[in-house]
Amino acid sequence: MSQVCVVGTGYVGLTTAVGLAHLGHTVIGADINDEKIATLQAGGVPFVEEGMADLLAEGLRRKRLSFTTDVATAVSKAEFVLLCLPTPQGADGNADLSAVRAAVKSMARHLAADSVVITKSTVPVGSAFEITTLIDRGDVMVVSNPEFLREGTAIHDFMHPDRIVIGAQDQAAAARAVSLYLKLAAPIVVTDPVSAEIIKYVANSFLATKISYANAVARLCEETSADVRDVLLGVGYDTRIGHEFLKPGPGWGGSCFPKDTQALLSLARQYGFEFEPLVGAVAVNDQQKARVVDKIMKLTDKKNPVVGIWGLTFKARTDDIRDSPSIAIAEALIERGAKVVGYDPTVENEIGQITVSSDPYAALDGADVLAVLTEWEEFRWLDAEKAAEAMRGRGVVDARNILSRSNWEHAGFEYVGIGT
């Protein structure tokens, strides 16, 4: 087993740290955020993720996992240094590498001889070469190892990956990076760093395109009176297509898809062409959020309606509201004169002008329309009759198609789904 330092203890970093510790490696999570490190040392998890608390506790108990703010000392003791730092979207559409650059410059002289620096952050194409230049040491190797974690199922995804991608110029460095994951049963793709970096962007952009395709199909189904659920069920049984991500909704968002699609579009433009399929996917996504807003407003004749929203996170089983379609839709409703009250199992604080309730029915008090925007399973089982008692109006827009149309119509609601 190996000595590993994970630099950055955000979503990707913490998942990677607890996962590698579970596999038997000795892992130090390093971060400059004192408060976050103190929380982690005490066994606290700063975000919602199923299974994270258990693996964190296991790693601390078995002394395979520790945390520190002393990054220089941590990297000096490590055979592998994994960079898991934030790379937000920059003004040019590419990922902003400033946090990665700053960390690499500060740690370069402290790295152990013959160590391997592994980039797991989603970085612009060519970053492995830039990091190699910044380190400027012949005794340190750099490898690209993109992550494919889904929020809400990140622990499962780490332990049961579809594939492990290693990008390296040096085959010895690639072999050493592979050794970290030998306990995992997954195909291993060994390639060059540029190809590894592009794989990440292409994968996320394809999944985003698949969702946009499903939303375009949903619109066609609405026009032709077909049922999108049956259409996509029939299509998804084709093994060349599959059911995953072939579901209509309010549009895609989160911390990855928006910035990764823009990064791939930006990369294509640098080489003089438009990535047309992705241009269309982004356009459909923007249109879909606007379509949901229109569906909600059409269910009331009030000039300043009250809209109750169930679901504020960008997806279920997380507390992440970054680039959430729910928030974008709520803000668009507010711009059109609506008052918005939201409920979400993991959101407690108000978001801008969005009032947040701690109870799903209280969020509907006096509401003209209910909009279901995140696919929390618990929403499926909430009582339509009780919702009707709280509301002033009788409109429901089910943007996730998770409610029982018959139950809600029986309770007197006008039900509007996506593609149904």
Domain shared by 71 and 156, yes or no: yes
Does residue 273 lie in a domain region?
yes
| Catalytic hit among 5, 84, 221, 256 | 256
pTM summary value:
0.94
Q: pLDDT tens across 375-396, in order?
A: 999 999 999 999 999 999 999 9
Q: Which of 139, 165, 191 represents a domain boundary (last residue)?
A: 191
Q: pLDDT tens across 170-200, in order?
A: 999 999 999 999 999 999 999 999 999 999 9
* Confidence band for 93, pLDDT divided at 50, 70 and 90: confident
Q: Which of 167, 191, 215 represents a domain boundary (last residue)?
A: 191
Domain shared by 168 and 296, yes or no: no
Does residue 208 lie in a domain region?
no
Percent of the chain with pLDDT over 70: 100
Q: pLDDT tens across 45-85, in order?
A: 999 999 999 999 999 999 999 999 999 999 999 999 999 99
Domain shared by 18 and 138, yes or no: yes
Does residue 299 lie in a domain region?
yes
Strand ranges across the sheet with 395-398:
355-357, 339-343, 306-310, 369-372, 395-398, 414-416
Percent of the chain with pLDDT over 90: 97
Annotate 255-273 with b (16+ C-beta within 10 A) or e (fewer): bbbbbbbbbbbbbeeeeee
Residue 363 domain boundaries: 227-420
* Confidence band for 92, pLDDT divided at 50, 70 and 90: confident
Domain shared by 153 and 238, yes or no: no
Q: Which residues contact 237 (CB under 8 A, 6 or more apart)?
A: 243
Domain shared by 234 and 381, yes or no: yes
- Picking from 80, 75, 155, the residue whose alpha carbon sits closest to that of residue 108 is 75
Q: How many domains does the chain have?
A: 2
5 as an active site residue: the answer is no
Annotate 22-51 with b (16+ C-beta within 10 A) or e (fewer): bbebbbbbbbbeeebbeebeeeebbebbee
CATH of the domain at 419: 3.40.50.720
**Other CB atoms within 10 Å distance of the CB of residue 175:** 12
- Picking from 334, 34, 20, 298, the residue whose alpha carbon sits closest to that of residue 147 is 20
Does residue 241 lie in a domain region?
yes
With a cut of 90, say whether residue 135 has pLDDT above it.
Answer: yes
Does residue 402 lie in a domain region?
yes
- Picking from 247, 244, 211, the residue whose alpha carbon sits closest to that of residue 230 is 247
